[in-house]
Amino acid sequence: MQRFAIATALLIGATGSGLNAQNAASKQVVCDLSECREISIPATRYSDTNAFSVQQVWIVVDNILAVSGLLPNFQVVETNDVDNAAAIIIDGERYLAFNAEWMSQYDTDASTQWELYGVMAHEVGHHLQGHTITGTGSKPPTELEADEYAGFTLSALGASLTQSQSLWVTLDERGSVTHPPRHQRLAAVERGWLRRQRQVPGGVTPTPAAQTPEETVPALPVPFSATQECVPVNVASRGATMCMSSVLPPQGNNAYGPANTLDDDSQTAWVEAAGGNGIGEFVTFVFEQPRQLSTVSMRNGYAKSDRIFARNSRVKRLRISASNGARVGLMLQDSPDWQSSEILAQLGKVSWIKFEIEQVYPGSQYQDTAITEIRLD
């Protein structure tokens, strides 16, 4: 995949100008890394709040907010009128605007995911620190504050200092009236990164020898959902945590939580709680130590009875991704019996793994998608 020319195209800047959402020709100023320019954003783009690409961005944003303990004070919207992402104000409301085509390229180049998280954390920082409501546009001090917030966030998500600065090292050495020079921005990211490290028992201290640790196993941010439920598990006698992105609330005497997939009981199952048939819902395993896996085994659907199995949706295809950026696809049979695949051996050594529902066999009565059991070896 051709990578973006980040030094010239990536939008990292707060804007203080308002935009009338009823006027498709309205203008506002958005700042990229080196300059500010006037753009026009069609209001119709902001009604598409259920687009899959918007949900993808919310996953990234949820990960960023989770480590700060803060709630979003903005909406996420899609528009073709920004090159990549920008924090903006429309009619007094805060928006994180993004270009869906720009976002989709990170789907095929996982090696640049820390750059994606750097962009988003910077823009989230602008909103959370109130830069976008001042009406003054981008200034060097506010850019450095957003950079430091991004460094703190990336550190909390598991990035090394080198990974955290991977976006900023692409910037031009010289600053401008609106943006500080590269060396100041790198220093701001480092301040945030070190501030987070000092909060972690056993974290690094700010000595020159300890400022650029590298992971033995590359680690992208752990997938996160604000509605997820997690339980401790053992994988080949080693500790791990398993999380489901959503869980259907109990109905009568039946519960549908993640522990149901560990009990060797066909009468229980995990059932997701998203709207529709569960496309995009996922299961994650996070390991205490990096692991080389080989096999995934599952009982698909709700295997309580043939009737219940047919009534609920079942998984047809899973998208499997891992902490090192590896990705594979897995087709499942439409059967409640155990089925296994050694596809995990292709992933290499990983610190987490994610199983995302891509396709389903529709249920005859319910859209909810279920998995009865799941094991990793």
Residue 299 and residue 165 in one domain: no
Residue 339 and residue 302 in one domain: yes
**The token pair that represents 102 in the structure block:** 């720009």
For residue 78, give Cα distances in angstroms to 44, 45, 146, 337.
10, 6, 22, 42
Whether 218 is covered by a domain: the verdict is no
Residue 31 and residue 160 in one domain: yes
Residue pair 54/143 in contact (Cβ under 8 Å)? The answer is no
Q: Which of 161, 179, 210 is the last residue of a domain?
A: 210
- CATH code where residue 295 lies: 2.60.120.260
Residue 201 and residue 337 in one domain: no
Residue 264 and residue 342 in one domain: yes
Helix or strand holding residue 188 (H, E): helix 182-199
Q: Which of 151, 177, 210 is the last residue of a domain?
A: 210
Whether 138 is covered by a domain: the verdict is yes
- Tell me the per-residue pLDDT of 174-232, one tens digit each, with 9 for 90 and over: 888 888 899 999 999 999 999 988 875 555 444 333 333 434 455 688 888 888 999 99
In the block, tokens 């990336």 appear at 154
Residue 176 and residue 243 in one domain: no
Residue pair 196/156 in contact (Cβ under 8 Å)? The answer is yes
Residue pair 46/79 in contact (Cβ under 8 Å)? The answer is yes
The pLDDT value recorded for residue 27 is: 61
The pLDDT value recorded for residue 374 is: 97
Residue 241 and residue 321 in one domain: yes
Residue 46 backbone phi and psi in degrees, to 5: -85, -5
Residue 169 and residue 267 in one domain: no
The pLDDT value recorded for residue 90 is: 75
Whether 216 is covered by a domain: the verdict is no
Q: Which residue in 193, 232, 173 sits closest to 33, CA to CA?
A: 173
Give the distance, in angstroms, between the CA of residue 117 and the centroid of all CA atoms in the same chain: 8
The pLDDT value recorded for residue 76 is: 83
Q: Which domain holds residue 284?
A: 229-376
How many domains is the chain partitioned into structurally?
2
Q: Which of 142, 175, 210 is the last residue of a domain?
A: 210
Low-confidence ranges of the chain (pLDDT < 70): 1-53, 107-111, 133-137, 200-219
- Tell me the per-residue pLDDT of 69-79, one tens digit each, with 9 for 90 and over: 778 888 888 88
Q: What is the dihedral of CA 124, 222, 79, 279, to 10 degrees?
A: -140
